[in-house]
């Protein structure tokens, strides 16, 4: 088939529009046949069907030019202003039940639902009502219907004031009859009801059938909000002059000492998966990019089967040169968090509310500017609460959680910065505090008592870095390239890395990081 | 050290400001000492130095509170309006040469440069001039200087109308004396001059010393523009209702048949690195996200050592459900490219110009709406040009390049869409053309004659997908999960994947993809 060059089929020119219309007419004729076929496959008796050609299984949409001009209305946009209008809607059939001469169905599109009513009358045959009552749940349907006001608000749908009175019903893609989980079960609210014997769907069943599980309103909202977190992170930093970079995931040497690193076969040799983009962020700083961020996969070969560990997650990383004090960076990161929290509150209120309908979500509290405590203050608070903890010890996870509650009670915030960690518990490249030999210029940040960022001023002086590495008994030959990169002139800098899934989990107050990773990876799961 | 809770050191309160001032004063005193030390390490004779305390090596910046209030001016912001003003600038010393009682230096910040002049006078000692003349290239310096109008424009600097008359010069971070490459060599324009015997830096030397190489004005511009491509891609799609998703890189089965895939050791088992996020994008569509995009690492274990292959690159991927025709998607992708090209033109003109100073860049031409050709038209054009090519053959890389030139000559565009590829050359999941058994609903997109996107309508019907897979002699049991995901109801959809580095390379007309990957990975390179 060689199309003449004198008639390039460029979109939108008059010739092709005319052709399209002609094709559409022909297609309509053809569809009538297909529809007829759809209707007769129902094995109805020979009794004449007054709805013939108005329902059935649509043949596979293969882009043949049919119905290109048809305008569809989104479920969320159905409102009383459309009363009496005939509209086309493409949505999932969430439920459908025939009662005598009527059929009630619920149509779902993302998180929005509307009621569909079919009643046997002079236009709708009982065959058609039966057909619709038999469509499998979760099938995608094209509905032609009249918008009607409801007598009383439909409490079970998000669109409450109107319903659809069906005129045509076509199955675009049918779901199999036996689904591995029911959306209504997966979407059921978590309540405190101790008598609650409601059917719930366990996590592995959800994750094994993630395509279905993701269709719940809460999941639709969670992952839209997650996209929002990334967008806010990037937009806020770009506005502050940061440059986005991309760092390699395949690296030649384990970035943090070799433990917990995945090995990759690399042609005739082997390589590793990066546990952090830190080295590359630092190189970008030494290469004059001044302020950089990167969003990408980070890998940890850690055999931790907890509610908050993944073997692969999305890191929101940033690094920034500063003039004289690392608090220039710490303040920038803190303000970035505050701006993200405010952005979520302002722009994702409906998603937060949707998640709240399934999971009990305590609203996330934060201060502006954020609260910054120093490590010794944390120790004091914990000791006052009866916990015995050393001044140079790192905080245990339970201590961090307790501290989160103490901070919340005292300062009314779910987010805070803990500055000045003991030098002894931080990596060798951490800049020591110049005023206190036991402290360092490093910080963690917490949401609801769980760490979501760890960061520090990095040592930018190669000789001092060597000295600190030796103090940590690190084999200097193995980090020679890292140290060498600071012999090319490097400004003082600091940064940190944020776990995206943790931020979303903790912001929403969810109990498991698998709820905020679309296709989570843990030591026991690499599918789907 | 336990800080009393009654005085939390929250940023910005009056107490801590006072304290900071006090600390700053103390620090100043201390710095004077350090500066003195810096000056005397020059081994000058006992002759009194009138510049003592005004130059030297600054002690390592460790965030001790010194100089926190000092305001710095960016090099690009130096202008005649500041004439006579004393300013602080932190920049790299690009070059420095002492001539008798004077020293001329060039300071560089990102892509901006300014001249610094030091002259022996009643404030500047010859020891100080000598010190500055000896600072190693690429060291980072703090300069206190008076802004002065230049007698004639300084053609060798980006700031031409003013220069800096040095008052204080402090080395913040010194570079080693022997650098593996010189920035001026790495930044030298590529000219057509056949006599050109200018020193160039070869690619491996550049990549081995990427931190230095990235400091050239062209590289500063390339990677800022690359960040722009990602930002435009995401912003344009987000505005069109797309949702950003994150897909796993570690997968349990090779996504495209098992060839060219990297194997990862995964605890006691093994897994693979994803060659494409396609399966996950399609699952997101089946999960009601409607329109999705994802930006992330993509891996190809292909032993191709060419100018345009990487083993790890950044994929800009999108997938979109449509109502009746895959051109709904094709048009969206085409318009996204046009919008990106226009955004680059409008917002990155200065970066494009900077790259053009080193590399000969023909401006990138595009049409709005973009040109769409059908495969048979391409075959005709190639045949007219004397190339023998079959109607059902895929295009070879040289044919694609030639076609790019033919299209450019005929339609005056460097970007076009080639639609309706032969079914035989596309993967099994590609939807066949309903009107032509030899064609398919698939497309590639090209920039300057090189493919930068491949996409198609995917088969969303499980039975037809099974039939097509069998036709391709694919073992159905190995793709059972993929096929099964369409039994849960899935709308018709199409999409495509874009190689980010290729887009930047081809937009700028560069000759090698390693120029647009910050830390490129190929079969022979996994460092730095």
* Rounded Cα gap, residues A24 and A338, in angstroms: 53
B173 touches chain A (CB under 8 A): yes
Q: How confident is the model at residue B191 (pLDDT cuts 50, 70, 90)?
A: confident
Please tell me which residue of chain B has the smallest CA distance to A277.
Answer: B519
Task: Examine the pLDDT at B491 and tell me if it is beyond 80.
Answer: yes
Cβ separation B252–A63 shorter than 8 A: no
Residue B167 and residue B52 in contact, taking contact as beta carbons nearer than 8 Å: no
- Residue B367 pLDDT: 98
- Give per-residue pLDDT as tens, B44-92: 456 789 999 999 999 999 999 999 999 999 999 999 999 999 999 999 9
Active site members of B: 300, 302, 308-309, 451, 454, 502
- Residue A36 pLDDT: 45
- Residue B23 pLDDT: 43
Size of interface A-B (CB pairs under 8 A): 342
| Of the candidates B355, B316, B351, B345, the residue with the CA atom closest to the CA atom of residue B445 | B316
Tell me the nearest-neighbour CA distance from A48 into chain B, angstroms. 31
Q: Is A294 exposed, middle or buried (0-12, 13-18, 19+ CB in 10 A)?
A: buried
- Residue B20 pLDDT: 42
Cβ separation B289–A220 shorter than 8 A: yes
* Residue range B456-476: mean pLDDT, rounded: 95
A110 touches chain B (CB under 8 A): yes
Cβ separation B374–A220 shorter than 8 A: no
Higher per-residue confidence, A366 vs B21:
A366
- Residue A509 pLDDT: 96
- Cβ neighbours of B9 in A, within 8 Å: 372, 374
A249 touches chain B (CB under 8 A): yes
Question: Of chain A residues 133-172, which have a CB less than 8 A from chain B?
Answer: 138-140, 172
B249 touches chain A (CB under 8 A): yes
B503 touches chain A (CB under 8 A): no
Question: Of chain A residues 463-492, which have a CB less than 8 A from chain B?
Answer: 464, 481, 485-492
A377 touches chain B (CB under 8 A): yes
The Cα angle at residue A42 between residues A36 and A43, in degrees rounded to 5: 105
* Rounded Cα gap, residues B414 and B365, in angstroms: 5
- Residue B196 pLDDT: 58
Tell me which residue in A174, A231, A491 faces B489 most closely, judged by beta carbons: A174
Question: Which residues face B108 on adjacent strands?
Answer: B92, B113
- Residue B161 pLDDT: 98
Task: Examine the pLDDT at B192 and tell me if it is beyond 90.
Answer: no
β-strand B415-419 against B371-374: which pairing, if any? parallel
A122 touches chain B (CB under 8 A): no
- Cβ neighbours of B175 in A, within 8 Å: 487-489
B177 touches chain A (CB under 8 A): no
Query: Mean of the per-residue pLDDT values for chain B?
Result: 91
A290 touches chain B (CB under 8 A): yes
ipTM: 0.91
Please tell me which residue of chain B has the smallest CA distance to A268.
Answer: B523
Least confident window among A245-254, B406-415, B433-442 = A245-254
- Residue A495 pLDDT: 98
**Annotated catalytic residue, options A188, A224, A234, A309:** A309
* Residue range B199-207: mean pLDDT, rounded: 91
- Cβ neighbours of B491 in A, within 8 Å: 90, 140, 172-173
B385 touches chain A (CB under 8 A): no
Cβ separation A179–B265 shorter than 8 A: no
* Residue range B395-413: mean pLDDT, rounded: 97
Tell me the two tokens of residue B332: 């969206």
* Rounded Cα gap, residues A426 and A327, in angstroms: 18
The Cα angle at residue B107 between residues B103 and B108, in degrees rounded to 5: 160
Q: What is the 8-class DSSP label of residue B391?
A: T
Residue A211 and residue B287 in contact, taking contact as beta carbons nearer than 8 Å: yes
- Cβ neighbours of A434 in B, within 8 Å: 62-64
- Give per-residue pLDDT as tens, B112-134: 999 999 999 999 999 999 999 99
Q: How confident is the model at residue B246 (pLDDT cuts 50, 70, 90)?
A: very high
- Residue B257 pLDDT: 56
A232 touches chain B (CB under 8 A): no
DSSP line for B268-321: TEEEEE-S-SHHHHHHHHHTT--EEEEEEEEE------STT--SEEEEEEEEEE
Residue B142 and residue B172 in contact, taking contact as beta carbons nearer than 8 Å: yes
Please tell me which residue of chain B has the smallest CA distance to A273.
Answer: B264
Please list, in sequence order, all residues whose beta carbon lies within 8 angstroms of the beta carbon of residue A419, skipping any fewer than 6 positions away: A330, A372, A373, A374, A375, A442, A443
The yes-or-no answer on residue A269 being catalytic is: no
Cβ separation B244–A250 shorter than 8 A: no
- Residue B46 pLDDT: 62
B65 touches chain A (CB under 8 A): yes
- Residue B43 pLDDT: 53
Which conformational region is residue A56 in: left (phi greater than 0), alpha (psi within -120 to 50 degrees), or beta? left
Cβ separation A250–B312 shorter than 8 A: yes
Tell me the two tokens of residue B496: 């495509």
Per-residue pLDDT of chain A (528 residues; tens, 9 = 90+): 333 333 333 333 334 444 444 444 544 444 444 444 444 444 555 678 999 999 999 999 999 999 999 999 999 999 999 999 999 999 999 999 988 899 999 999 999 999 999 999 999 999 999 999 999 999 999 999 999 999 999 999 999 999 999 999 999 999 999 999 999 999 999 875 656 566 789 999 999 999 999 999 999 999 999 999 999 999 999 999 999 999 999 999 865 556 799 999 999 999 999 999 999 999 999 999 999 999 999 999 999 999 999 999 999 999 999 999 999 999 999 999 999 999 999 999 999 999 999 998 889 999 999 999 999 999 999 999 999 999 999 999 999 999 999 999 999 999 999 999 999 999 999 999 999 999 999 999 999 999 999 999 999 999 999 999 999 999 898 888 889 999 999 999 999 999 999 999 999 999 999 999 999 999 999 999
Cβ separation B9–A66 shorter than 8 A: no
- Cβ neighbours of B311 in A, within 8 Å: 250, 266
- Cβ neighbours of A283 in B, within 8 Å: 210-211, 519, 528
Cβ separation A11–B138 shorter than 8 A: no
- Give per-residue pLDDT as tens, B132-165: 999 999 999 999 999 999 999 999 999 999 999 9
**Annotated catalytic residue, options A92, A108, A206, A308:** A308
Cβ separation B66–A324 shorter than 8 A: yes
The yes-or-no answer on residue A302 being catalytic is: yes
B21 touches chain A (CB under 8 A): no
Least confident window among A99-103, B246-250, B289-293, B346-350 = A99-103
Tell me the nearest-neighbour CA distance from A195 into chain B, angstroms. 32
- Residue A328 pLDDT: 97
Task: Examine the pLDDT at B424 and tell me if it is beyond 50.
Answer: yes
Q: What does each C-alpha distance from B263 to A65, B249, B268, B397, B430 come to in angstroms?
A: 43, 12, 13, 29, 27
- Residue A193 pLDDT: 63
């Amino acid at each position: 088939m060689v199309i003449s060059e004198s008639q390039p089929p460029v979109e939108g020119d008059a010739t092709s529009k005319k052709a399209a219309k002609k094709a559409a007419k022909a297609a309509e004729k053809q569809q009538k046949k297909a529809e007829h076929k759809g209707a007769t496959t129902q094995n109805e008796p020979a009794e004449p069907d007054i709805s013939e050609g108005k329902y059935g299984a649509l043949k596979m949409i293969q882009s043949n030019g049919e119905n290109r001009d048809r305008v569809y209305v989104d479920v969320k946009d159905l409102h009383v202003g459309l009363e009496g209008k005939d509209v086309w809607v493409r949505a999932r059939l969430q439920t459908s039940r025939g009662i005598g001469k009527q059929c009630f169905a619920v149509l779902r599109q993302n998180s929005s639902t509307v009621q569909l009513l079919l009643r046997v009358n002079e236009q709708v045959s009982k065959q058609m009502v039966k057909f619709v009552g038999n469509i499998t749940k979760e099938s995608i349907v094209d509905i032609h219907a009249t918008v009607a006001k409801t007598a009383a608000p439909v409490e079970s749908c998000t669109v409450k004031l109107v319903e659809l009175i069906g005129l045509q019903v076509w199955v675009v893609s049918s779901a199999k009859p036996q689904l591995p989980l029911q959306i209504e079960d997966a979407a059921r609210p978590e309540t405190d009801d101790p008598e609650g014997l409601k059917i719930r769907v366990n996590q592995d069943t959800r994750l094994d059938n993630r395509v279905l599980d993701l269709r719940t309103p809460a999941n639709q909202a969670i992952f839209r909000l997650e996209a929002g977190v990334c967008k806010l992170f990037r937009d806020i930093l770009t506005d502050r002059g940061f440059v986005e970079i991309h760092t390699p995931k395949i690296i030649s040497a384990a970035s943090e000492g070799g433990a917990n690193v995945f090995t990759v076969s690399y042609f005739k040799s082997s390589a590793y998966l990066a546990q952090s983009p830190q080295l590359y962020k630092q190189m970008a700083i030494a290469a004059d990019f001044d302020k950089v961020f990167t969003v990408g996969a980070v890998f940890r070969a850690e055999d931790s089967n907890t509610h908050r560990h993944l073997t692969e997650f999305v890191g929101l990383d940033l690094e920034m040169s500063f003039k004289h004090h690392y608090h220039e960076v710490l303040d920038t990161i803190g303000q970035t968090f505050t701006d993200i929290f405010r952005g979520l509150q302002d722009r994702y209120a409906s998603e937060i509310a949707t998640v709240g309908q399934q999971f009990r979500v305590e609203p996330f509290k934060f201060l502006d500017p954020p609260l910054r405590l120093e490590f010794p203050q944390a120790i004091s608070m914990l000791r006052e609460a009866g916990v015995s903890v050393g001044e140079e010890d790192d905080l245990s996870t339970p201590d961090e959680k307790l501290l989160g509650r103490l901070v919340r009670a005292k300062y009314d915030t779910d987010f805070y910065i803990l500055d000045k960690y003991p030098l002894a518990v931080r990596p060798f490249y951490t800049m020591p505090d110049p005023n206190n030999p036991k402290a360092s210029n490093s910080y963690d940040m917490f949401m609801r008592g769980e760490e979501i960022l760890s960061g520090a001023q990095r040592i930018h002086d190669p000789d001092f870095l060597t000295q600190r590495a030796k103090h940590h008994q690190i084999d200097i030959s193995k980090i020679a390239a890292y140290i060498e990169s600071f012999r090319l002139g490097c400004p003082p800098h600091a940064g940190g890395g944020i776990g995206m899934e943790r931020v979303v989990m903790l912001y929403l107050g969810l109990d498991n990081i698998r709820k905020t990773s679309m296709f989570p990876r843990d030591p026991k799961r690499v599918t789907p």
